[in-house]
Amino acid sequence: MIEVCQDCGDKEGKAFWEWVLVVLDRGGHEFMSDEEDATVIDERNAKARPGKQILTLPWQDPYFVKLFTFIDVTTGIEDMIFGPRGPTPLRRIRVDEVSTKDPPSKLPKTFFSEEYLSRLSQPQKHALKIAKEDFPL
């Protein structure tokens, strides 16, 4: 998407996608959503096909649900621009089921839900080793 924005002269779009890469790099793999295999119904032809259920991470700031949903939707936009390549991606469905995945440590405070942090004891917060760096969202 960075290349698409650059080719179109969209400086704001290019800056946004570059920032997304910084966020994803800073969060790392452990920060990403927790997924489970699922069977989903394809809305186009009502056939069942493999997919992924995206579980809720109670410790993750709600901003990231919106960001990751936007990124998932953008995959479809890329296909419209470039044409589909490779196998059809698995459909990803967000569900209310809460993940039991532990939060990663050493992340900026802004990556965590304020509600989640408010429920932690001081030793639990200390165990997270929250980064001192400021990372505005």
Inside any domain, residue 75: yes
91 beta partners: 51
Q: Name which residue leads in pLDDT, 52 or 42.
A: 52
Residues 6+ positions from 20 with CB-CB distance below 8 Å? 67, 71
Please compute the mean of the pLDDT values over residues 11-32 and round it to a whole number.
Answer: 93
Inside any domain, residue 136: no
Tokens of 86: 């490779």
Confidence category of residue 72, pLDDT binned at 50, 70, 90: confident
Range of the domain at 73: 2-128
Inside any domain, residue 137: no
Domain count, the chain: 1
Task: Answer yes or no: is pLDDT of 58 > 80.
Answer: yes
Confidence category of residue 121, pLDDT binned at 50, 70, 90: very high
